[in-house]
Structure 1
Amino acid sequence: MSFKSILQDIKGEFGSISRKGFDVKVGYGMRSRSHRVVQDSSVPLDGLKQSCWASMPPELLRDVLMRIEASEDTWPPRKHVVACAGVCRSWRDITKEIVKSPEVSGKLTLPISLKQPGPRNSFLQCYIKRNRSNQTYYLFLGLNQASTDDGKFLLAARKYRRPTHTDYIISLNCDVVSRGSNTYIGKLRSNFLGTKFTVYDAQPPICGAKVTKSRSTRLLNLKQVSPRVPAVNYPIAHVSYDLNVLGSRGPRIMQCVMDAIPASAVEPGGAAPTQTQFLHRNLDTSPSIPFFRSKSTRTENFQPGQLSAQSEAMLVLRNKSPRWHEQLQCWCLNFNGRVTVASVKNFQLVASSNNGVSGQTQENVILQFGKVGKDVFTMDYQYPISAFEAFAICLSSFDTKIACE
């Protein structure tokens, strides 16, 4: 039986459940009226528990899902794997068991894979589209080498200017980019000059989690707002750009401190923390509930190159120094054809020598970002950073930097 026919049968099960379970007849003397009973929204209903698919033997179900996983290895057909995970709880659990993380499979499948480290020794090729009219940025997985074609949507970010800083809210939904949404997964915050940034995760990383207190956290303790409002963020990375005190134009100098990734992760056999699931949150809150700006640790307190004893084991990334090309009269880096337009935003990140990594490891590009069109940029990343972390770092390159250029 093909997967398409399976889905058609599932739809048929839904229809039979609707027809059998929700129509009743009520008699009034000589006349009868048909009344439709509405499902009580307070009682969760899984209609597929009544279908034959929910009671399929686990051994047979596992074999079917393994065949689908093996056959649908690229997007867009890979959406069938995601559809299987949405059938019912048993299907979802087995699908999550079969689908491997990007580190092993080199594929982005379920939403949690955006928070997991990329593949080893190969890039996941993505691109970012910028919408200048609404200050929104969209991350897509490239389905082919032409970044002008529609790819698989991954993440969206919207820029919010504040009096003293700028926030980039990152969401799993391209239409709802808000911290109050249940698709909110993190944000990027800059200082006033646009030279220092902090990446915040909406849920704690595996290790080194540090709660960022906010005004909303204190209000939650006083029970003045809904307990379903996201009140904390977890700083997972810091990005800094060196100040240009001489005023001469040149390539940017940037550094990234990955708070949640150990420096040993880039060495052979090293391991980076891997999130396995999103926290269960119900954020269907009223639009009238205010969301307060975090009064957390300021990015101004972060000094590039000055790591405490506790943070000495953190992974530090630096941009690869470009070389001056005499004939072209410009700074150049080898992007292997992935970048076609010269821009000050273009960069490649490698492990810093301060981590004590080997010389060969220092040459391995972990993240590269560059311009290919007016509002189109490529973003290629690999282990040990995730798509979410790579996207947030690239967003820092878009921000205006008053004192850097």
Structure 2
Amino acid sequence: MTGGKFEAAHEDLSERRVRLGRWLFRLATLLLIAVVALQTLDAAGVLTIGFANWRPVLYTYIFWGVALGSSQILTRGEAGQQAAFVLPALLFTAAMVIFPTIFGLYIAFTDWNLNAQSGHHFNGFDNLRTLWGDSYFWNALSNMAIYALTVLVQYAIAFGLALLLNADIRARKFFRVAFLLPFMLSPVAVSWMIGKSIMENRFGPAATFARAIGWENPAFFTSPWIARTSIVIMDSWVWIPFIVIMLLAGLQALPVDVKEAAKVDGANRWQSFWEITFPLMLPVSVTAIVLRVIFELKLADIVINVTAGGPGGATDTISSFIYREYRDRSNVGYATMIAEVYLIIIIIFVTLLLKALGRFMQKMT
């Protein structure tokens, strides 16, 4: 810039203004740290300040956010004004995700049972030791590994359906809508509609049909493997359409000239699929698989409503196990420790999965 514009910009970002912005942010940060420290010491029983709840921290955090935005504007001018538009979203994310995670980590190292009269107190690594020796936790974790592996089967079925729906068949629009209907239902509704009604062992249509073909005592949720398979079937019925949607969108975006060139070169359908369609669909496939695995690792609603983790924990998931620790045993500290450990396991697992899929994509392409 030249002339008056440069001088105006220079005056707007004067040294005095920049210094004011920096001191405003520093003082607000010190105030936030002090309030959080005092609230933590009060909650731990080290000090008695009289904070009834965590509202002082909330109010101080809001003040800190306003000070941060003002500091950005004072120190950076127009660039700071642009950053101020993004700050509310970032501060909200921090308040709703980061702070609860940190607070949950604090709870995880406490003995906190809602039925106890003494409230909660710090117990070190006792919850972690209990978790290490808890057979129900390891059983639920092994079940999660089985459920996660079924995503590959769901992907194979979804890919076949996507190819079918992408082909030039009669009533293609009708079938596309029909295959998407399960995805429109809530998993809770599916668990009651199928698990509690259709698969009911006395009068359910599935049990009646099973007796008609020779199964004397059809019970879908009393045998461990049959119960686990039934949960997988219901969960797959809900979520396969999600994978179909993504794969169908990818198939429709593939270049037609590449397929036509393969036909001219004499490639049959299998060669055209394995050498052209499948490699080109890998980015979409990896995205669908990773998202589906993440959703599968959160499986809880169908299990809670249909089997409550039974029989004997055969269908239990980590999420349903945590839910029972909270609801049935009111064991907040131990349940939070399970949730924190499971979060770490998910982060490690998804990271390794992305690396493995990345190497597979490099080999295929």
TM-score, normalised relative to structure 1:
0.22
Q: Which has the larger Rg?
A: 2
- Between Structure 1 and Structure 2, the one with more strand by share is 1
- Between Structure 1 and Structure 2, the one with more helix by share is 2
TM-score, normalised relative to structure 2:
0.24
